[in-house]
Structure 1
């Protein structure tokens, strides 16, 4: 059992109550004071200020997510290098309560966010020759460390005082180098395109995790990434986005989502350009993709849905059970207290 986005958001707003090490952290929020969260395949991410510095904080969205990076994180802690940012696991860092009210703890990942700007900002302000030289330096440096990032793309690079520092090491490993060669080639091509067509290149930014250079699964070939089998379907990531295939690798739901979760009890959360929603196993929308957050609980068949900072409950068929109200007010009123769906 793992915490949800809602659990993570609540912890970020009350760090002194929820966090062990990061009790004094302050999260970056939107205009409504809600944490700015970024969701990828295996992690939810927030930016925090802690002890005078900026950090990225990651919540694992699957039990095996931390296990996959333990060895890499341990080795990174022993390295002394300016090529990589501090990246560590904080065991049992966050306290949360599950659906039964049982208090649980989960580990988080903390990564330093060095002072600087993103790749796209660097493209707009630096000479192409400077950026190309910095990419050469980074590639050679990572080779010397035996470090493979395996998800090297513009949004995972930070331009800091004349050099690039990669971020988000969730797919990284140590060993035979060369896994990042294609990604470095794409980055150099991006710099070249900016130099030749600066106005056009500026419009080609891709800011979502769907551009990740994941290694295709050996179990289901032809995909950037694939999950495990849940209810007869496997969530996969392709060039066009996230979708679902059957165990024979036949497409069941085309890959057109920005993000998708595994199926549980016939439902899967998805993300589109318009917002989050909930689909059935035929790919039809049970909850339209127009909300900030949709969290489906297969144990109760109820979804918690956020819109404009307010929350409501929806049933298994996608019918709205409560009006949109502040989260505290919603928690004080059980869904059973509203026997009929509320007009949307």
Structure 2
């Protein structure tokens, strides 16, 4: 099971198909899911996972909640494929398939708005499909352009680490998706291994070779390597190993996530918290939900008091809100009493809670609704005309 600031997600089976069951945990998430489900009813494409909203199908205490079923094609998430390693030939083929998918999405049209390698399925037939569609919109947009470039580079750099590429900013100078994809095709076709200026270690290869020499057959299950820690399961509890199969953190958790910037989300029977690489609690396991944003070294936390922001040392740095969104461009959408605004990564309210609705920042811009009027604001809250 995974949690974010807006959904609880669980992998399952829907008949004979893999699926993801998603439970919105915020009223705005429920509304977004309903809008998207209605829009996708008129869209028939293999590029997107099946997306169906079931009304009042889940009981949480005395409350009924909607659930979303994302029916997935048979295949593997792209991030798992890349972490296992691929050849240069496979990397170019996969990059070409990904670029073709990105271009085809303009014909649907669909903007995902939260693309990453963990939200892409490489299907058994070699095609590609997107899931985790909750932030998406049926529209033509440049919102995904940065992610399209970064994912292409991630695929190529897995197998061709020393190649040189144009900067992301240079490619984003074009707002035309077809032109962007044409440039990426040329880059993928020309990518070649170039000698590094000095000898460098391929850490991914070294890690893989080391793990190949270590016997993990005594473990029921192990996860991926994250900052030289490997999650493992013993019975119904999880802990962490080092890369030599030594137990570093005893199995004591009901749920664990990979380490990022020295921190990992972990849960016990009492609640969810944040640990360091020695297994010490940075944030005590007494909360309902934690979303650790390693890029900003902050944690968004939900408990009985509401939503608040914590720093990497476990200190609460904001007041409580009815809801906090995900951090982007150092801004976090915040809601209290049905009014939306933004706080920064220090927990300070930098844009007053005045809007009917507010969305995540992308490239220094965010869409908001003020007195029923949609508009776009910059990082300081000024309207962009």
> Which of 238, 241, 256 pairs up with 2:298?
256
Helix, strand or coil at the partner of 1:139: helix
Which residues of 2 match residues 247-326 of structure 1 at below 5 A?
255-257=297-299, 260-262=300-302, 265=305, 268=308, 280=316
Which residues of 2 match residues 37-52 of structure 1 at below 5 A?
37-52=1-16
Root-mean-square deviation over aligned CA pairs: 3.7
Match of 1:240 in 2: 295
Once the two structures are superposed, residues 41-88 of structure 1 have per-residue CA deviations (whole angstroms, 9 ceiling, x without a partner) of 200110112312211001111122110232221111221111111011
C-alpha displacement of 1:150: 0.6
Kindly indicate whether the alpha-carbon contact (under 8 Å) linking 2:308 and 2:316 is maintained by their aligned counterparts in 1.
Answer: yes
Kindly indicate whether the alpha-carbon contact (under 8 Å) linking 1:40 and 1:209 is maintained by their aligned counterparts in 2.
Answer: no
Kindly indicate whether the alpha-carbon contact (under 8 Å) linking 1:267 and 1:279 is maintained by their aligned counterparts in 2.
Answer: no
Match of 1:156 in 2: 119
Return the alpha-carbon distance in structure 2 between the equivalents of residues 140 and 171 of structure 1: 19
Match of 2:107 in 1: 144
C-alpha displacement of 1:278: 8.1
Return the alpha-carbon distance in structure 1 between the equivalents of residues 98 and 112 of structure 2: 14
C-alpha displacement of 1:282: 6.9
Once the two structures are superposed, residues 89-148 of structure 1 have per-residue CA deviations (whole angstroms, 9 ceiling, x without a partner) of 110011232xxxxx3211011101221111134333461111111111111111111200
C-alpha displacement of 1:167: 0.7
Match of 1:7 in 2: none
Return the alpha-carbon distance in structure 2 between the equivalents of residues 166 and 209 of structure 1: 25
Q: 1:61 to 1:75 in 2, by over 3 A?
A: same
Return the alpha-carbon distance in structure 1 between the equivalents of residues 134 and 259 of structure 2: 12
Which residues of 2 match residues 188-203 of structure 1 at below 5 A?
188-197=152-161, 199-200=202-203
Match of 2:134 in 1: 170
Once the two structures are superposed, residues 264-296 of structure 1 have per-residue CA deviations (whole angstroms, 9 ceiling, x without a partner) of 648859798xxxx9864579xxxxxxxxxxxxx
Q: 1:164 to 1:271 in 2, by over 3 A?
A: farther
Q: 1:129 to 1:114 in 2, by over 3 A?
A: same
Return the alpha-carbon distance in structure 2 between the equivalents of residues 196 and 90 of structure 1: 44
Kindly indicate whether the alpha-carbon contact (under 8 Å) linking 2:308 and 2:318 is maintained by their aligned counterparts in 1.
Answer: no
Equivalent pairs counted in the alignment come to 200
Return the alpha-carbon distance in structure 1 between the equivalents of residues 127 and 13 of structure 2: 23
Gaps of 5+ in 2: 163-201, 208-224, 228-256, 261-289, 320-385
**Structure 1: which 4+ aligned runs deviate by more than 4 Å?**
201-210, 235-239, 266-272, 277-283
Q: TM-score, normalised by structure 1?
A: 0.50
Kindly indicate whether the alpha-carbon contact (under 8 Å) linking 2:20 and 2:72 is maintained by their aligned counterparts in 1.
Answer: yes
Helix, strand or coil at the partner of 2:21: strand
